[in-house]
Amino acid sequence: MRRIVGMGVGLISSFVSGASASDRLGLYAQDQFQTVHGICQPCQALPQTQWYFRHETVALPQPSLPVSGYHGDKRGADDTQALNPDALPELVWTGASQRWSQMTLHADSSEIITAQGERWQFNLVPKIASNRAYWNAETSRFIGQAPLSVRGEWDGQTLVARSVWPQPFKLNLTASTQPLSRGESLQSLVQFANGGARSPYHSRLLWERSPGAGQQSSGKAALGILLNGAQGDDDEAHGGHFALATGVVGAEGEYATWLVNNYYNLASNSEKGIIAAVTPFDKYMGDLNSGQAFYRPSYMLVAVFSQPHIPQQIQALNNRVFQHFYRNDFVYDHARENCAGISIDTLRNLGWQVPPRGVESLLKASAAYWYVAATERSLKKGRAIYDYLNTEMTRLFPAVAFDAIGNDLLNIAHTGDKTTLTSTDMQPMAEQLEAIYFVRIPQIPSSRDYGLAPVYSFAQYLQQAPADRSQWKIIPVTPNPLPQHLKEGLALKSQSPALVPVAAILFLISLVGGFWIIARLAATWLKRIWRR
């Protein structure tokens, strides 16, 4: 194991009771973690987890502290037995060993200035060759307008930034309540100004339990329901992205050090270097290569709680799900096991039964299966379109998941209705909710096209993407399979569904049968006509 040390505020700085949220990683004290780079020997991280992060700087729990455990006969979010809220995630992907706050960028981006007036040379991590969203002159103008938090490393006398985050991007704790008005909805807030990629940052208090409750959110545990918009120049990404975040509200409404549970495809190398992980919010959004804010707008609903129990339970199960994910007990699938599906399964298995929205259409799915299979000459592609049209929509579309969770959360807050809270762990939500915020985060200008609002249906997806699929802008990726010697347990059992779904077979039989019946009726009619 190689521990990283350096100047600035390291990830292993001490934590004391009552310290600010910036001294935490999500719900956890920062000094519960140590910073390492690459493979660690020995440590509590699984061999599979270490393999995925073998070239990365990460935060791992101190050796003496409990780490999330899993049950080998479960595949993911159904592993809810005996959750320990005090157990730490086995790994947090920080990307850097140091973090600084209250930094100001010099106009030409060559220097960065501390709150005390010290000037340091400033540089950026190298651009990943396949990444199309990187810092440019517009970024410098945008970033230079406000104090920053920065994650990075020292290279001699130069601070090399891995991620940057504008510190004014925080909850407005002094705002008055502004509930949804008649004609407004969560969807309309998301779709404002075509997604709001160029709009100002916006924080709005939608609900508070009592007057002034929102102003008292500082220091309280929170759940973030995070929706990222459509990418402006990737026609496979109009659905957006989804994640759940947990943390403690900062003294001035900060959420940069919350932990985001980011489910991404582990089986391919992301063109932006994204690795599925529990990761700090400022890195998730502001990493110079993989940060979501550099290539699309984002939206977040924040639920603030009087007690930490519910966010703790949600984070505890996500910690465990990631262990199954790294072991390949289940694999990412863009229809059946995507970022929205895994996240909403986590909530439902904990006992928050977010109302489902149904499927697009089983009939359409079956018809589309045979059409795509025939035109593309691929049963695999036919199965893929079938799964898209036959997956429950809160599990398929990030925007629909965001809308369903958010509307149920507002209903619970306004009415105290516990119908969807079916477990003893989730039922206290109605009493413990203190405030609900909506946040719109604009896109940080970069070399990438501006993004859009995410789509809410397959039909809307087809309207937003070019009608001619050959004209789609698609960013190619390379495979990243887990080595066979690291696969064990459920990873050795196939999860692939049958290439020809039963419903599609029945549809074909019905279709052929229908044509046969029509043909027989037509033949009978013609015979009668002939006999006349």
Q: What is the dihedral of CA 71, 74, 79, 84, to 10 degrees?
A: 10
352 within a domain of the structure (yes/no): yes
Give yes or no: residues 247 and 369 share one domain: no
- Cβ atoms 208, 464 nearer than 8 A: no
Give yes or no: residues 151 and 122 share one domain: yes
Per-residue pLDDT tens, the chain, 532 aa: give them.
333 333 334 443 322 223 355 689 999 999 999 999 988 878 899 999 999 999 999 999 999 999 999 999 998 999 999 999 999 999 999 999 999 999 999 878 899 999 899 999 999 999 999 998 899 999 999 998 789 999 999 999 999 999 999 999 999 999 999 999 999 999 999 999 999 999 999 999 999 999 999 999 999 999 999 999 999 877 777 899 999 999 999 999 999 999 999 999 999 999 999 999 999 999 999 999 999 999 999 999 999 999 999 999 999 999 999 999 999 999 999 988 999 999 999 999 999 999 999 988 777 767 766 767 777 787 778 777 777 788 999 999 999 999 999 999 999 999 999 999 999 999 999 999 999 999 999 999 999 999 999 999 988 877 887 766 666 677 788 999 999 999 999 998 877 776 666 555 554 455 454 454 455 555 555 555 555 5
Give yes or no: residues 336 and 437 share one domain: yes
Give yes or no: residues 198 and 77 share one domain: yes
Q: What is the dihedral of CA 240, 241, 246, 250, to 10 degrees?
A: -40
173 within a domain of the structure (yes/no): no
Q: What is the DSSP letter of 306?
A: S
> According to the model, what pLDDT value does residue 360 have?
82
Give yes or no: residues 28 and 101 share one domain: yes
Give yes or no: residues 215 and 289 share one domain: yes
Alpha helices in 181-305 (DSSP H): 186-191, 281-286
pLDDT above 90 coverage of the chain, percent: 72
> According to the model, what pLDDT value does residue 4 have?
36
Per the DSSP assignment, residues forming a β-bridge with 299 are 227, 440
Give yes or no: residues 263 and 365 share one domain: no
Chain-centroid distance, C-alpha 68: 20
On the CB side of 240, how many CA atoms lie within 13 Å of its CA? 33
- Cβ atoms 399, 407 nearer than 8 A: no
Give yes or no: residues 266 and 289 share one domain: yes
Q: What is the DSSP letter of 195?
A: G
Q: What is the dihedral of CA 509, 515, 518, 524, to 10 degrees?
A: -100
Give yes or no: residues 350 and 368 share one domain: no
Residues shown for the chain:
532
Per-residue burial over 172-185, b if 16 or more Cβ lie within 10 Å, else e, is bbeeeeeebeeeee
280 within a domain of the structure (yes/no): yes
Threshold 0.95, pTM exceeds: no
Give yes or no: residues 291 and 152 share one domain: yes
Please state whether 195 falls in left (phi above 0), alpha (psi between -120 and 50) or beta.
Answer: left
326 within a domain of the structure (yes/no): yes
> According to the model, what pLDDT value does residue 18 have?
36
Q: CA-CA distance, 242 to 136, in Å (whole number)?
A: 27
- Count how many domains the chain has: 2
Domain around 372: 358-391+501-532
Q: Environment class of residue 101 by beta-carbon count within 10 Å: exposed (0-12), middle (13-18) or buried (19+)?
A: buried
pLDDT one-digit tens code per residue, 150-200: 999 999 999 999 999 999 999 999 999 999 999 999 999 999 999 999 999
149 within a domain of the structure (yes/no): yes
Give yes or no: residues 63 and 199 share one domain: yes
- Cβ atoms 243, 24 nearer than 8 A: no
2 within a domain of the structure (yes/no): no
Give yes or no: residues 373 and 235 share one domain: no
376 within a domain of the structure (yes/no): yes
481 within a domain of the structure (yes/no): no
- Residue that terminates a domain, selected from 418, 438, 453: 453
